[in-house]
Amino acid sequence: MISALIILIMIMNSCEKPQKKDDSFLKEDPAEINLSPEQIALKHNEALSYVLKELSTKDNFSDVNQMLFEARKTLINYYENQSDILYPSDEYSYYSTILENSFDKVDDKELSHFWFPENENQLTNYQMNVLDQLQVILNDDNLSLSDKLSEFSIIKEECNNSQTATRVEKEVLIIAIEVGMKSMEYWHNHQDEWVALVDNGSKWFDWGEVAGWDLAGAIGGAAGAAATGAGIGAGAVGGAIGTSVANGVYQVWDHYM
């Protein structure tokens, strides 16, 4: 009851909250994206499926570092093949850096916010307020997957209709929310397949934790791209798939060991 009240209060104060933080660092016209937010989020899930398929062909992993190494290498290979789909081929080095940095940020600790400290100056108060709402929803154990997806959809729609947020602010958030929603669905449906890479038969996995890292990764990649005028969608995918795969591997091994 208390958690539901908190969520209701936060939603009521969400997308129309006056901005107090200067947003002049956001480029007015970042690189155009050719995919819708939902299509971008589906690319995130496609990458996870690709990595899972490749890891499934490997011999048993001896430790977490070996699995992380193989996952990272496979993920980079997938992303490299997305040139001219997610990003111009001559800009691969920029976007691959986003992916690799996000992968390397992940550890087995909990996130305090759905953004990394180094991205805080690339986010407005408006965006951070919305991300805090999403965190409350995702961390609420009393909500089912369906409930969480519904709450995310409400916030996404409110942000889309906001009269105070800029186009770029909205774009960063909406893409990240879509990634978070697709992440929840993916890990809820495929968690056992990842666990089976090292531990057949287990039924544990915190898909909400991975989705939180995905949101932070998506926000980091998207916000960084928005601040430099690069492609927000490509940055979001690069950031999210890096954190997603890395956190998934850490969860598998932390439980297994």
Q: Where are the domains of the chain?
A: 41-107+175-256
Residue with tokens 């989705």: 211
* pLDDT reported for residue 25: 36
- Distant-in-sequence, close-in-space partners of 65: CB < 8 Å, separation ≥ 6: none
* pLDDT reported for residue 109: 61
* pLDDT reported for residue 207: 52
- The fraction of the chain above a pLDDT of 70, given in percent, is 72
* pLDDT reported for residue 107: 67
Q: Which residues of the chain register pLDDT less than 50?
A: 1-33, 203, 256-257
pTM: 0.78
Burial 29-56 (b: 16+ CB within 10 A, else e): ebbebebebeebbbbbbbbbebbbebbe
With CA atoms as reference, report the closest residue to 238 among 91, 33, 44, 55: 44
Outline where the chain has alpha helix (H): 2-12, 37-56, 64-80, 92-105, 125-138, 145-160, 167-195, 207-228, 232-256
Residue with tokens 């539901």: 4
Using CA atoms, how far residue 71 sits from 67, 223, 246, in Å, is 6, 25, 8
* pLDDT reported for residue 22: 39
* pLDDT reported for residue 195: 78
* pLDDT reported for residue 230: 61
Q: Is 225 helix (H, G, I), strand (E, B) or coil?
A: helix
* pLDDT reported for residue 108: 55
* pLDDT reported for residue 163: 92
* pLDDT reported for residue 253: 63
Evaluated on CA atoms 79, 82, 87, 93, the torsion sign reads: positive
